[in-house]
Chain A
Amino acid sequence: MEDNTIICRCEDLTLADIRAMIKKGFHNPQEIKRLTRCGMGPCQGSTCRELLLKEVAAASGKSIGELEMTTFRPPTKPIKAKSILMGGDHDEI
C-alpha cells in the first residue's frame, strides 16, 4: 500500500521512500527534506509537509510540535527569471 501512496507530488516521493529514510535512522523532517527534496518542489511543501511531519512523529513517538520544523525560504512559489532581472536596486533600501 505504501509503494504507490504519494507523499510529495512535486518531487515524486512515496510513503515507502519516506519510511525507508526513517528506517535508516533519520528522525528529523529537516534531514529527510534535505536528503530527499521532500517539500522542495514548486508547491514548496504545502501538500506534503504535514504528511512528512506526521510520519516522522508516528515513527519517533514524538508529537509534531517536538520535531524540528523544516526551513522556509523565499520565494514562496516558482518565479520567472524576468521578475528577478526587473527587480529593484539594493541601494534603494
Chain B
Amino acid sequence: MTSLQKPEIAIVGGGPAGLSAALSAVRQGAEVMLIDRDPALGGQLVKQTHMFFGSKKEYAAIRGIDIPGQLMFALEEDGKGKFSPILNTTVLGYYDDGVILAEKEEEQAVLIKPQKTIIATGAAEKMLPFPGNDLPGVYGAGAVQTLMNVYGIKPGTRVLMIGAGNIGLIVSYQLMQAGVEVAAIIEGAPKIGGYLVHATKIRRAGIPIKTSHTIKEAYGNKSVEGALICSLDENWCAVPGSDLDMKVDVICLAVGLTPQTELLWQAGCQQKYIPELGGYVPLRSEKMQTSLPDLYVAGDVACIEEAGSAMVEGKIAGLFAAADLGYDEKVEERYHGFSRELEELRAGPTGAKIRQGLSRLNGGAEVC
C-alpha cells in the first residue's frame, strides 16, 4: 500500500532547471520533493562533457557533467531536512485535484499531493520523416550522446550527422573524440545554426558541413548501410541530379527539440504554439507560474533554450513557489537579480529568436 505524500513543493524533473528550482526553494525555507525517472540527478547534464558558455554565474567554462555535483553539494548544505529526492520514479499523471501519480522502480505506485508543483520535464528530440528512418542505426543525437558519454559505447564506425545546430556540432565533435568517423554534417537551412566556435573546430578537423542539404533516404538490409543526400534550392526543394550516396552505418538526427509538455496538457494549463520556442509551450507569468496558480514551469519544457537559462528559470520558479507558501524573504530583491541574469543570457543576436518567441507568447501577434 502506498501512502499519500504531501510535500510543500514537488518538482518533476531533476535536470538543470529542476535542481536549481529545488535549491532556490529550499533556500527560501520550503520543503521540496524532487522526482526524477533516472537513477541519478542531473538530467541531460550527465552527458555534457563539453564546457558551457554563457554567464559565469550559470557555470560558464565548467563542463556540463560537473554541474549536477555542485548543485547537489549546495542542496545537501542548504537543504538539510528539507530536500528529498525520489529517483527511478516516473511521473505518470497530473490530476485535476493536484495529485501526482508516479511509478517507482517500475513496480510501485506513488501518490503525491504537493501544495505547489514545478514541472521541469525538459524536452524530447524531434524526428525526421524519410524512407528507412526506422532502420537500426538511425539515432537521435541525444541517444548517441548517452551511449558514448554515459555508457562508453560507440554507436558505429561512420556517421552522417543531420543538423548543424549546437547539438549536431557538439555531438559530432564528441564522436570524433571517441574515435568515430563523421562523414559529414548536413543542414537543411542555408546557414549553420550553431555557434561559429563549434563549427570552426569541426571544419578544422576536416569534417564537411553541407548547408542547404537534406537526407532523401536511408538504406540497408538489416541496419543502416548508407544514405542518399541531396542539395536544396532556396524553396527547400531537392535540386534534381544533386544526389550523393554516403556509405555510413549511423545516421544521427539533431533536428531540434520539442518541449515535453504532456503533464501540462493533462493538468489543463493554457498553451500556445510558438515555433521559436520549440512548439507548444505553456503561458506563464514572469514568476514562471502557469495559468493554473499551483503549477509552475522551468527549463526546456517552457521554452527550448540552454542549460544556463533553464537554471535561472528554475531559480525563479523555486523562489515564487516558496514565496506563495509564505517563505517570502527578500523575494523582490532575489527576483530582480534572477531576472537580470536571464536578460543578460538572452541579450545579443543569439537570443533574438527566444526574445521574439517570448514576446509572441506574451500576447504578441498570433503565429501562423
Contacts and interface: CB of A to CB of B under 8 A. Distances in A.
Given A72-B265, A74-B266, A86-B2, A1 B131 contact: yes
B111 A44 contact: no
A38 interface: no
Contacts of A46: 124, 260
Q: Interface residues of A toward B: which range?
A: 35 or more
A80 B92 CA distance: 12
Contacts of A1: 131, 216-217
A75 B368 contact: no
Given A76-B93, A88-B109, A93-B111, A15 B129 contact: yes
Contacts of B134: 6, 9
Contact of B280 (A48, A69, A74, A93): A69
B273 A83 contact: no
B111 A88 contact: yes
Given A65-B272, A92-B3, A93-B99, A87 B266 contact: no
Contact of A76 (B91, B111, B126, B280): B91
A40 B93 CA distance: 16
Contacts of B193: none
Contacts of B273: 63-65
A71 to B, nearest CB: 8
Contacts of A48: 127
Given A50-B127, A88-B2, A80 B109 contact: no
Interface string A61-93: 001110001011111110110111011110011
A4 B258 contact: no
Contacts of B217: 1
Nearest to A55: B129
B1 A89 contact: yes
A69 to B, nearest CB: 7
B2 A51 contact: no
A65 B361 CA distance: 12
Contact of B3 (A69, A73, A75, A88): A88
- Please give me the 3 A-B residue pairs with the lowest Cβ-Cβ distance, nearest first: A74-B93, A65-B273, A75-B92
Interface of B: 1-4, 90-95, 97, 99, 101, 103, 106-109, 111, 113, 124, 126-127, 129-134, 216-217, 258, 260, 262-263, 265-266, 272-273, 275, 279-280, 366-368
Given A44-B262, A65-B366, A77-B90, 17 more contacts: A6-B129, A7-B129, A46-B124, A47-B127, A48-B127, A63-B368, A65-B368, A69-B265, A69-B280, A72-B262, A74-B266, A83-B109, A86-B1, A86-B108, A88-B111, A89-B1, A93-B4
